[in-house]
Amino acid sequence: MTSTEIVELRRALGQLRQCVGSLRGRYGDVAAVQRLANDIERMDIDATELIDIDSPPRPRQAPLVEREVVVVPDTPYDSSLWQDADDEGLGGYRQR
């Protein structure tokens, strides 16, 4: 899209917003007015996506997330931890 097309699209969306605002003032927040407002928001989102397609890609940085490292030992677990546990999901109950 050219910059002129972008400006014209934004202007038209602005005019639509004003018209829906006038309708909201006249009829209140009825379902039809809400749908029109939602349609304009959706058009604005779609227009932004189109504009972003034509613009050069912006480098994205991964969000900085601090992660805690949990060390799991390779040694076997103490069998007494499982002493009275059932074997659910492993083929049924096993008698001891």
The reply to whether 59 falls in a domain is: no
Residue 41 exposure: Cα atoms within 13 Å on the Cβ side: 7
Residue-level pLDDT at 77: 79
Tokens of 30: 């009825």
Establish if 72 belongs to a structural domain: no
What is the reported pTM?
0.53
Q: What whole-number distance in Å separates Cα of residue 22 and Cα of residue 14?
A: 13
Q: Would 85 be classed as within a structural domain?
A: no
One digit per residue, the tens of pLDDT, for the chain of length 96 reads: 688 888 899 999 999 999 999 999 999 999 999 999 999 999 999 888 888 776 666 666 777 777 788 888 888 878 887 777 766 665 555 555
Contact between 33 and 20 under an 8 Å Cβ cutoff? The reply is yes
pLDDT of residue 60: 66
Query: Is 29 part of a structural domain of the chain?
Result: yes
Looking at the structure of the chain, the number of domains it has is: 1
Predicted local distance difference test score (pLDDT) of residue 23: 95
Q: Are 40 and 13 in contact (CB under 8 A)?
A: yes
* 14 is a domain residue: yes
- Residue 60 placed within a domain: no
* In-domain check, residue 71: no
Give the Cα separation of 12 and 33 in Å (integer).
18
Give residue 38's domain range: 3-54
